[in-house]
Amino acid sequence: MNNLSAQTPYGILGKDGIKALANAFYDVMEERIEAAPIRAMHAENMTEIKQKLYEYLTGWMGGPPLYSDRYGSVCLTSAHKPYAIGTQERDQWLDCMDIALDRIAVQYTSDSKQLKTMLKQPLFSIADAVRNQD
Ligand code: HEM
């Protein structure tokens, strides 16, 4: 892998790292009392959503478009319409992602701070785009 391709989150994490991230993300959501309100929006069994988030993030992070190959192009905003997502829910989601990154990043990069910095603004933007109320 050349240096240029390493400069995307996909280049740093690869499929394995993104899979680990998606799994850790929902594990954190399950564990954190603060995330209980967003956990409750999800199905009891999170196997499928773990796989979907992995596929989605792989494309979003600069890798192959696994999610849209399987499901077609999706509007995340409308996919989330059935759920009441305000700033609190958005921030709970982002907190889970932050902790999940802390858990897995060290296994994939010697500079996990750089990875987190690279993702911070884009993650905020996408989570805020999913928000459908104050
Ligand atoms: C901001 C707070 C968010 C909340 C509370 C939330 C919640 C949810 C819920 C409840 C579902 C349905 C899960 C199920 O069927 O069990 C879902 C689906 C999904 N979410 Fe989120 N989500 C949020 C943000 C995001 C963000 C920022 C992304 C992407 C980076 C994302 C990616 C997805 C994907 C890919 C699906 C699956 C859609 C499908 O194919 O059915 N979500 N989300």
Q: Is residue 49 part of a domain?
A: yes
Q: Whose CA is nearest to atom 27 of ligand 1?
A: 127
Nearest ligand 1 atom to the CA of 130 is 1
Q: Is residue 55 part of a domain?
A: yes
**CATH number of the domain encompassing residue 41:** 1.10.490.10
Does residue 90 line the site of ligand 1, with CB under 6 A? yes
Q: Is residue 81 part of a domain?
A: yes
Does residue 40 line the site of ligand 1, with CB under 6 A? no
Tens of pLDDT, residues 84-108: 999 999 999 999 999 999 999 999 9
Q: Is residue 2 part of a domain?
A: no
**Would you state the pLDDT for residue 4?**
57
Residue 95 tokens, joined: 């907190």
Tens of pLDDT, residues 8-37: 999 999 999 999 999 999 999 999 999 999
50 within 8 A of 43, measured Cβ to Cβ: no
57 within 8 A of 115, measured Cβ to Cβ: no
Residue 2 has pLDDT above 60, yes or no: no
Q: Whose CA is nearest to atom 32 of ligand 1?
A: 53
Q: Is residue 5 part of a domain?
A: no
When divided into structural domains, the chain yields a total of 1
Question: Which residues are CB-neighbours of 1 under 8 A, at least 6 positions away?
Answer: 11
Q: Whose CA is nearest to atom 9 of ligand 1?
A: 42
DSSP assignment letter at 34: G
Range of the domain at 63: 10-130
Tens of pLDDT, residues 111-128: 999 999 999 999 999 999
Does residue 96 line the site of ligand 1, with CB under 6 A? no
Does residue 39 line the site of ligand 1, with CB under 6 A? no
Would you place residue 6 in the very low, low, confident or very high pLDDT band (cuts 50, 70, 90)? low
Mean pLDDT over residues 60-66, rounded?
97
**Would you state the pLDDT for residue 47?**
98
Would you place residue 7 in the very low, low, confident or very high pLDDT band (cuts 50, 70, 90)? confident
